[in-house]
Amino acid sequence: MKSTTIAAISTPFGNGGIGIIRLSGNRSVHIATSLFQRTHKHEKSEVTRQEELFVSHRFYHGKILDPDTREIIDEVMAVAMLEPRSYTREDVVEIHSHSGPVVLGKIYEKVLDAGAVIAEPGEFTKRAFLNGRIDLTQAEAVVDIINAKTGTALKIANRQLAGELTEKVVSIRKALLDIHALLEATIDFSDDVQDDIQNESMLGQLEQGVLQKIEQLLSDYEQDHFYRDGVKMAVIGRPNVGKSSLMNRLIQRDRAIVTAVPGTTRDVIEETLHIKGLPVVIMDTAGLHEAQGEVEKIGIKKTRQTIKDADIILLMVDNSEPLHPEDFTIYREIAEKKHIIVQNKNDLPSGNDCLNLSGTSQPHLCLKISALTGTHIEELKEMIWKVISGEIGIDRKVGIVPNLRHKRALEKCLVSCRRAGHAMIKTMPEEMVAMDIMEAIDRLDSLLGDHYRPDVLDQIFSRFCIGK
């Protein structure tokens, strides 16, 4: 790692007050000093050696000069954070210049000419992980902070960055190591150990110190991952009932193409709407009917997959027409999921009643709207909120929320632990139980990043922006 010095523009492109170029690696200070001329109040304070230019964690005012022409590129502030007291545990330098595509681009070009290489997305945080400053869950929390769409999502990410999830996982791992040590002792000193007492003790530790804690983390994921990932809401129905018009109305801009021709939407279109601070991912889908062509069949196949993935369904029917047999077919497909029936085109004379579709005595699950005029759109948002908040228990305290990668690792760990517990109950050989316990420990190690595959790391850090 330290043989290469990376650099990136860490602030968004565009005009602004401050732009930041960040460097990390053993040549960061050398590269910065080759471009940076420090401002001095008195001649006798002139710095003569590069290593004297930067005191760690202190800002210096000066200018960036073109090393070839000595022309001033910009007036800047520069700061060095020397290893190990830096974000990456390498020498890090930040150059704070005026923000604009030309000036930032010019400084960045000179930094690269001086020997730095272009940083990959998330490479600074990846180095922080590989150099042992943070574990993998904390690295993921960084991107969650950047992408947080709500205050609650930000709190969850900050708690994860502070190491709360790590503490819980390490606690579970320690309990598993204790059980494994007992198993090893039983194997080595079998004549001195009463099997029934030992098994009972290990089963108690496994239940209280491991299984209950993993199950709680998985429960937290199921109930609270909405805050991080958003609630997935699919808008479905026959072609030309107004699904795309509703999406455009909800997000208040023309995102989906709307025409009088049925079947305009061929792919799933996603946008995020915030309802009372909770991100709701709206998925506009292709109309469900008997497909005529190959492209339409693909669109309908994607719609059905979207229905499976959705947390809540908006089933839209045309209020101006009698209910169509396909409306009933679609309803049967989604009846078991959380859903709201939306009767669109309320600005036209009514031709049906949604209660005839659902056969329900719950009229609060049906609403007449007009996506064209905006009638009852606010009422629809309130109805969506009630269904969502009832599903996730919006008023309760949010716990530590694993992400999907953590969830899968915890589920695999849980399987291994339950298999070990079953083996203890059946008084199977301790060697077999120990193998299951070690497998569970390995699952937790992969969660924390103690054991990792390069492709998994690449996938995680590809979510980051350049310069972080």
pTM: 0.71
Q: What per-residue confidence (pLDDT) applies to 355?
A: 65
Rg of the chain over CA atoms, in angstroms?
A: 29
For residues 311 and 328, state if they share a domain: yes
Distance, CA of 253 to chain centre: 25
| Residue in this structure with the two tokens 């997305």, named with its chain if needed | 121
CATH of the domain at 271: 3.40.50.300
**CA proximity to 250, closest of 272, 276, 219:** 272
Buried b (16+ CB within 10 A) or exposed e, 64-90: bbeeeeeeebbebbbbbbbbeebbbbb
> Does residue 235 share a domain with residue 219?
no
Both 98 and 174 in one domain: the answer is no
For residue 398, being part of any structural domain is answered with no
Among residues 102, 135, 168, the one where a domain terminates is 135
User: Please, which residues have CB within 8 angstroms of residue 85's CB and are 6 or more apart in sequence?
Assistant: 56, 57
| Single residue among 372, 392, 412 that ends a domain in this structure | 392
Per-residue model confidence (pLDDT) at position 362: 55
The answer as to whether 240 is a domain residue is yes
Output the pLDDT for position 190: 59
Specify if 460 maps to a domain: no
Residue stretches of the chain with pLDDT short of 50:
1, 42-51, 258-263, 361, 393-395
Contacts of 435 (CB under 8 A, 6+ apart): none
431 and 324 belong to one structural domain = no
Whether 146 and 122 share a structural domain: no
Domain membership of residue 287 (yes or no) is yes
Q: Name the residue range of residue 189's domain.
A: 139-226+403-449
Query: Are residues 257 and 388 both part of a single domain?
Result: yes
pLDDT at position 194 is 53
Residue 152 is part of a domain; what is its CATH number?
Answer: 1.20.120.430
Do 279 and 267 lie in one domain? The reply is: yes
What pLDDT is stored for residue 147 in this prediction?
Answer: 81
Residue corresponding to tokens 């545990």? 89
The whole-angstrom separation of Cα 96 and Cα 21 is 7
Residues 269 and 412 in one domain: no
In a domain, 419, yes or no: yes
**For the chain, how far is it from start to end, CA to CA, in angstroms?**
16
Any idea which residue has 């905006």 for tokens? 374
In a shared domain, residues 76 and 221: no
Which CATH number belongs to the domain containing residue 110 in this structure?
3.30.1360.120
Residue 291 lies in a domain: yes
Q: Do the Cβ atoms of 447 and 137 come closer than 8 Å?
A: yes
The answer to whether the beta carbons of residues 100 and 19 sit under 8 Å apart is yes
**Residue 465 belongs to a domain:** no
Q: Are residues 240 and 379 in the same domain?
A: yes
Structural domains in the chain (count): 3
**In-domain check, residue 468:** no
Together in a domain, 125 and 29: yes
Residue 39 makes CB contacts below 8 A (sequence gap 6+) with: 60, 61, 62, 63
Domain boundary among 392, 417, 436: 392
Buried b (16+ CB within 10 A) or exposed e, 177-209: eebbebbeebeeeeeeeeeeebbeebbebbeeb
Residues 383 and 240 placed together within one structural domain of the fold: yes
Residue 318, pLDDT score: 87
